[in-house]
Amino acid sequence: MNEAEHVCTELPPAIDRLVALGFRLDAIYPADDPHTAILTGKDGVVRLTSRPGAPRPSTELPPFAPEFLLDSGGEAGEGRAGMLYRDLIPGRLGGRYIASLIAIPEGGPVPDWVHFHRITLQLICVRAGWVRVVYEDQGAPFVMCAGDVVLQPPGIRHRVLESSPGLEVVEITCPALHETFAEHELILLNDKLDAARLFDGQRFVRHVAEQTQWTSFGGGEAQETEIGNATGGLAEARIVRATGGKALEFPPHNGELVFGFVFEGAATLDFRGSHPVVASDAFVIPPGEPWRLCDGSADFSLLHVTTARIA
Same domain for 94 and 162: yes
Q: What CATH number is attached to the domain comprising 179?
A: 2.60.120.10
- With respect to residue 182, please indicate whether it lies within any of the assigned structural domains: yes
Q: Residue 100 pLDDT > 70, yes or no?
A: yes
Domain boundary among the residues 154, 173, 206 is at: 206
Same domain for 272 and 146: no
Same domain for 114 and 222: no
Residue 217: what pLDDT?
97
Q: Residue 83's pLDDT band (boundaries 50, 70, 90)?
A: very high
Q: Residue 189 pLDDT > 80, yes or no?
A: no
Segment 269-276 mean pLDDT: 98
Half-sphere exposure of 32 (CA within 13 A, CB side): 21
Same domain for 180 and 121: yes
Domain that holds residue 33: 3-49
Question: What integer best gives the mean pLDDT of the chain?
Answer: 96
pLDDT tens digit sequence for 229-240: 999 999 999 999
Q: Residue 1 pLDDT > 70, yes or no?
A: no
Same domain for 159 and 106: yes
Integer angstrom CA distances of residue 91 from 11, 42, 94, 97, 267 = 24, 40, 7, 9, 24
Segment 182-192 mean pLDDT: 87
Same domain for 189 and 78: yes
- With respect to residue 95, please indicate whether it lies within any of the assigned structural domains: yes
Segment 109-135 mean pLDDT: 97
Same domain for 20 and 148: no
Same domain for 228 and 100: no
- With respect to residue 239, please indicate whether it lies within any of the assigned structural domains: yes
Residue at 126: amino acid letter: V
Q: Residue 191's pLDDT band (boundaries 50, 70, 90)?
A: confident
pLDDT tens digit sequence for 103-118: 999 999 999 999 999 9
Domain boundary among the residues 206, 240, 269 is at: 206
- d(C-alpha 286, C-alpha 67), whole Å: 5
Q: What CATH number is attached to the domain comprising 13?
A: 3.30.720.120
Cis peptide before 30 (omega within 30 of 0): yes
**Which residues contact residue 11 at a Cβ distance below 8 angstroms, ignoring those fewer than 6 apart?**
34, 35, 36, 37, 48, 49, 50
Same domain for 274 and 151: no
Segment 149-166 mean pLDDT: 98
Same domain for 265 and 192: no
- d(C-alpha 220, C-alpha 239), whole Å: 11
**Helix, strand, or coil here: 209?**
helix
- With respect to residue 57, please indicate whether it lies within any of the assigned structural domains: no
Q: Residue 3's pLDDT band (boundaries 50, 70, 90)?
A: confident
Same domain for 138 and 171: yes
Segment 79-105 mean pLDDT: 96
Task: Give the count of domains, the chain.
Answer: 3
Residue 188: what pLDDT?
84
Same domain for 111 and 154: yes
- d(C-alpha 200, C-alpha 58), whole Å: 18
- d(C-alpha 71, C-alpha 90), whole Å: 8
- Percentage above 90 pLDDT, the chain: 93
Domain boundary among the residues 161, 189, 206 is at: 206
- With respect to residue 54, please indicate whether it lies within any of the assigned structural domains: no
Q: Residue 143 pLDDT > 80, yes or no?
A: yes
- With respect to residue 64, please indicate whether it lies within any of the assigned structural domains: no
Q: Which run of H or of E encompasses 241?
A: strand 235-241
- With respect to residue 221, please indicate whether it lies within any of the assigned structural domains: yes
CA of residue 187 relative to chain centroid, distance: 23
pLDDT tens digit sequence for 11-59: 999 999 999 999 999 999 999 999 999 999 998 999 999 999 999 999 9
